[in-house]
Chain A
Amino acid sequence: MSKILQIASSRRTWAWPYVLFMLLFVVLPLLLVGVYAFTDIEGHFTLRNFAKFFTHSEAIQTFLYSLMIAVFNTAICLLIGYPAAYFMAAEDFKTPKVMAMLFILPMWINFLLRTVATVELFNIFGLPLGEGALLFGLCYDYLPFMIYPIYNTLQKMDTSLVEAAQDLGANRWVCFWKVIVPLSMPGVYSGIVMVFMPTVSTFAIAELLTHNNIKLFGSLIQDYITTTDLLNYGAVLSLVLLIIIGLTSFFGDNSSETEKGGMI
């Protein structure tokens, strides 16, 4: 009896349901993607799917285009998000909570609904859907993910560092570039990762905001996966995307300072 209690009260025991969940819904699907990528439709090992990708110019072009869209979106979010975070974190800014609330408010509803609403907005104002609308929609959806990590690092930054820089002869401009920007990099890194990763694999936003005229890599994968005889090729595309995303997260994780940033 006491043994059962001991097992039940151990923290390790409580981890098991989660481990099981992750095995079933994270590890297994990943393994399946890997297995499908390296097999043909009959289940025999093959590298032909990979060979097909490297000769399939449409796939590569879509892939590069998606990367470019993601890079653009990340850059725009950073350009808009950094100043927003900076002003919100400023000491003499009286209503950071209201600002933060306004930025987070659209996230209360599902992003698909928001995107549909954006399409309607474009229609009302008679604006054409297409690449511009796509970038706008992406930026609108992902901006908060850029602002929050940066806002957090800026807000936690020791103000005496800024004073120390001024004391040593740095004016506001120099102080910003030599102290504030370098010290907010952990926040910038997590912002970049949090915006770049989901945009590179997005497809619903692209479909809705471009009337299916622009195909992103995510849409391409979706097309192949839903077509039964091309499932294995779709798996290869997924794997390629996964590797790219993995690389970006390493880029953000290379310094121990990320722990100072992060979302919260």
Chain B
Amino acid sequence: MKNEFIIEVNHVSKQFEDGKYALDDVSLQVKKGEFVTILGPSGCGKTTLLRCIAGFQVASSGDILLKGEDVTKTPPYRRPVNTVFQKYALFPHLNVFNNVAFGLKLKKEAPDVIKKKVRRALKMANMTGYEERKVDTLSGGQQQRVAIARAIVNEPEVLLLDEPLSALDLKMRHDMQIELKELHEKLGITFIYVTHDQEEALTLSDRVVVMNEGRIKQIGTPTDIYNEPQNCFVADFIGESNILSGRMIRDKRVEFIGQQFDCIDTGFGEDVPVDVVIRPEDIYLWKVQGDNVLSDKGPDAASQADLDKEDRVPKGKFTKWYGTVQSCIFKGVHYEMRVLTPDGFEFLIQDYHEFLPGTEVGMLVKPEDIQIVKKEHYLYNYFEGEVTKNGKVRFIDAEWEVTEQQLAGFEPGERVQVRVPFRNIDLQDYEEEGTLSGEVHFILYKGNHYHLTIRTDEGHDLYVDTNDVWDDGDRVGIVIKPEDILIGKLPND
């Protein structure tokens, strides 16, 4: 076979009329028979990508190949794919049989062939015996089964599923997940499945495509995505994690929370800022005694003896750190603890044992469970700005007062580079108190502070480090003190 990929999405972008990108240079290859899930929060472009593959939307640029054939502009009715819609989209004026037979009748197949195929499809979807029922007398799960039968009866090469289970209740969703997985194995065709439910994605798929803001953040097997997130977004979005700012000292050696740890990652360079991701279930906990545990001197010999008694905790030269349990919640299989270190770093830890609030504990993590992630931005917001005629500096669509000293050496009208430290952007509850207003767009908890992405009303992104608690979507006023604005020459000029 010349081409092993059944679907190729090459550098596809989709720009809407308002200029916003729903898809931004997305590339994806899908092998025949694969079960690929596109996962992401709402508005990340996952549905748009699926609709581009189905043909309901036409990509603004890039191309889409089905079986090696360019279908970028092919109308949906000429593509060898079928879709299962989020809200089923069954035809209310037709009964179950005629809904399923819709596609076959259009292909002018013989009535007895249609009958046979419809029966087989309904059997596959566990809906035998419902042929004559009106669709609005069926439950949500039954309607979705009919919708699946209606799609697979046409024997498509690719089945596209747009959040097919999101309207069902939890129990039904779990049953349908298993049925879908079985169906995929029986049919052997390619499934492309869109969902915002990470559990669904991890359970069902051969490969997961994590998307955010119109871009693919990571493609990998469910275990890769979970164990080796490539960036903070994936680490934060999939499962729970402790994300901390750190520094790669050299290969296999990283520093965070003021201590050095062995790890297994290489190739980041020396003395490079990174983010460190540790899953809550990867941190080992044990109880320590002695009042001086949390003092500057660190734990005493007695606490080492405590550790030696614990069989659960791996032995070896691991870096350890200490803290006090703040809260403990029983989660069914495990307990979930929040542990605070004397330096103010908070850790989320899951353990089969209960550690009551107030307990002083030691913590360690194995080197292979420390996941190092490249920092996407570090310390400063960088903007391109312009010195205005009236002695101000203009960037992110606003003019900012600065002193003459700050502008020394720059002419009015000159383009400059503006830096604002993450720490020095002040957010106000009331929009009108800020020079600019915007919205909290993304929140990352970094153990001892929040790293926020603020999107201004003009569409610029600002990164802010703060100890204040904000919620996703909060409206804020943005204040930057003039003395915190650093003005310099544009690079490469």
Contact A160 B89 (CB under 8 A): yes
Residue B453 at the A interface, CB < 8 A? no
- Contact flag A166-B76 (CB < 8 Å), given A174-B106, A183-B93: yes
A230 interface residue per 8 A CB criterion: no
Chain B residues with CB below 8 A from A168, complex form: 77, 82, 102-103, 106, 150, 154
Binary CB contact string for chain A from 130 to 167 against chain B (1 if under 8 A, 0 otherwise):
00000000000000000000000000001011011111
Is the CB of A17 closer than 8 A to any CB of chain B?
no
Distance in angstroms from A28 CB to nearest chain B CB is 42
A185–B87 alpha-carbon span in the complex (Å): 22
Is B93 in contact with A182, judged by CB distance below 8 angstroms?
yes
Complex contacts, A161 vs chain B, CB 8 Å: 89, 91
A75 proximal to B (CB < 8 A): no
Contact of A169 with B103 in the complex, beta carbons under 8 Å: yes
Chain A 162-199, CB-CB to B under 8 Å as 1, else 0, gives 01111111110010001100110100000000000000
Check B143 for interface membership: any CB of A closer than 8 A: no
Known contacts A164-B83, A169-B77, A171-B77: does B89 contact A158 (CB below 8 Å)? yes
Q: Are A167 and B82 in contact (CB under 8 A)?
A: yes
Contact with A along B57-97 (1 / 0, CB 8 A): 00000000000000000011100011101110111110000
Interface contact A166-B89, CB-CB below 8 Å: no
Complex Cα–Cα for A183 and B150 (A): 19
Set of chain B residues within 8 Å of A170, measured between Cβ atoms: 77, 102, 106
Min CB distance, B133 to chain A, in Å? 16
Could you tell me the distance between the alpha carbons of A165 and B440 in the complex, rounded to whole angstroms?
40
B19 CB to nearest A CB, Å? 18
Q: Chain A residues with Cβ under 8 A from B154's Cβ? A: 168-169
Name the residue of chain B whose CB is nearest to the CB of A260.
Answer: B92
- In the assembly, what is the distance between CA of A167 and CA of B151, in Å? 9
Q: Check B309 for interface membership: any CB of A closer than 8 A.
A: no
**B54 in contact (CB, < 8 A):** yes
Report B-chain residues with C-beta under 8 Å of the C-beta of A182. Answer: 93
Q: Does B107 contact A (CB under 8 A)?
A: yes
Nearest CB on B from A53, distance (A): 41
How many residues on B have C-beta within 8 angstroms of the other chain's C-beta atoms? 24
User: What is the CB-to-nearest-CB distance from A257 to chain B, in angstroms, rounded to a whole number?
Assistant: 8
Roughly how many angstroms separate A168 CA and B94 CA in the complex, as a whole number?
Answer: 15
In this complex, how many residues of chain A approach chain B with their Cβ under 8 Å: the count is 18
Report if B430 contacts A (CB, 8 A).
no
Residues on B with C-beta less than 8 A from A166 are 55-56, 75-77
Within the complex, which residue of B75, B81, B91 is in contact with A164, where a contact is CB–CB below 8 Å? B91
Judge whether B77 and A160 touch: CB under 8 Å: no
Measured CB to CB, the nearest residue on chain B to A160 is B89
The proximity string for B residues 86-118 relative to A, scoring 1 for CB distances below 8 Å and 0 otherwise, is 110111110000000011001100000000000
Q: Chain A residues near B91: list those with CB within 8 A.
A: 161, 164-165, 179, 183
In contact, B89 and A171 (Cβ under 8 angstroms):
no
- Residues on A with C-beta less than 8 A from B89 are 158, 160-161, 163-164
Nearest to B160 among chain A residues (CB) is A167
CB B99 to nearest CB in A, in angstroms, measures 9
Given contacts A158-B87, A183-B93, contact A169 B106 (CB under 8 A): yes
- What residue in chain B is nearest A161 (Cβ atoms)? B89
Give the distance to chain B from A170, nearest Cβ to Cβ, in Å.
6
For A178, the chain B residues whose CB sits under 8 A away are 102
For B102, list chain A residues within 8 Å (CB): 165, 168, 170, 178
| Residues of the A chain whose Cβ atoms lie less than 8 Å from the Cβ of B107 | 169
Give the contacting residue for B56; candidates A163, A179, A183; CB below 8 A: A163
A183 touches B83 (CB 8 A): no
CA distance A158 to B86 in the complex (A): 12
Q: How far is the CA of A158 from the CA of B82 in the complex (A)?
A: 18
Cβ contact within 8 Å between B106 and A160:
no
Q: A163: which B residues are within 8 A, CB to CB?
A: 54, 56, 76, 83, 85, 89
Task: Determine the residue in chain B with the shortest Cβ distance to A166.
Answer: B76
Q: Is the CB of A167 within 8 A of B87?
A: no
Assembly CA distance A215 to B151 (angstroms): 58
| Complex Cα–Cα for A179 and B77 (A) | 14
Given A158, A167, A171, which contacts B83 in the complex, CB threshold below 8 Å?
A167
B93 to A167, Cβ gap below 8 A?
A: no
Closest B residue to A185 by beta carbon equals B93
Contact A160 B82, beta carbon cutoff 8 Å: no
> Which residue on chain A has the smallest CB distance to residue B101?
A168
Q: Which residue of A lies closest to B51 (CB)?
A: A163
Of all chain B residues, the one with the shortest Cβ separation from A175 is B77
- Please, how many angstroms separate the alpha-carbon atoms of A179 and B94 in the complex? 10
A171 to B107, CA, bound (A): 12
Within 8 A of A (CB), among B124-172: 150-151, 154
* Closest partner residue, chain A, to B103 (CB atom): A168
The distance from the CB of B75 to the nearest CB of chain A, in whole angstroms, is 7
Q: Flag if A167 contacts B92 (CB, 8 Å).
A: no
CA distance A179 to B99 in the complex (A): 11
| Bound form: Cα–Cα A174–B91 in Å | 14
B75 CB contacts on chain A under 8 angstroms: 166, 171
Q: Using Cβ atoms and an 8 Å threshold, which residues of chain A touch B77?
A: 166-171
Minimum CB–CB distance for A153 against chain B, Å: 12
Chain A residues, CB < 8 A from B90: 164
Scan A10-54; emit 1 where CB is below 8 A from any B CB, else 0: 000000000000000000000000000000000000000000000
CB distance from A166 to the nearest CB of B (A): 4
- Closest chain B residue, CB of each to CB of A182: B93
Q: Which of A161, A165, A169, A171 has the most CB of B within 10 A?
A: A169
In Å, the complex CA distance between A158 and B56 comes to 15
A178 to B77, CA, bound (A): 14
B contacts, CB < 8 Å to A: 54-56, 75-77, 81-83, 85-87, 89-93, 102-103, 106-107, 150-151, 154
Using a CB–CB distance below 8 Å, which chain A residues touch chain B? Answer: 158, 160-161, 163-171, 174, 178-179, 182-183, 185
28 contacts between A and B (CB under 8 A): A158-B87, A158-B89, A160-B85, A161-B89, A163-B54, A163-B83, A164-B83, A164-B150, A165-B102, A166-B55, A166-B56, A166-B77, A167-B76, A167-B151, A168-B77, A168-B82, A168-B102, A168-B154, A169-B103, A169-B106, A170-B102, A170-B106, A171-B75, A171-B77, A179-B91, A183-B91, A183-B92, A183-B93
Contacts A168-B77, A170-B106 aside, 6 further interface pairs with beta carbons under 8 A come to A163-B83, A163-B85, A164-B85, A166-B56, A168-B103, A168-B106
Closest 10 CB pairs of A and B: A168-B103, A160-B89, A164-B89, A166-B76, A182-B93, A169-B106, A167-B83, A169-B77, A166-B77, A160-B85
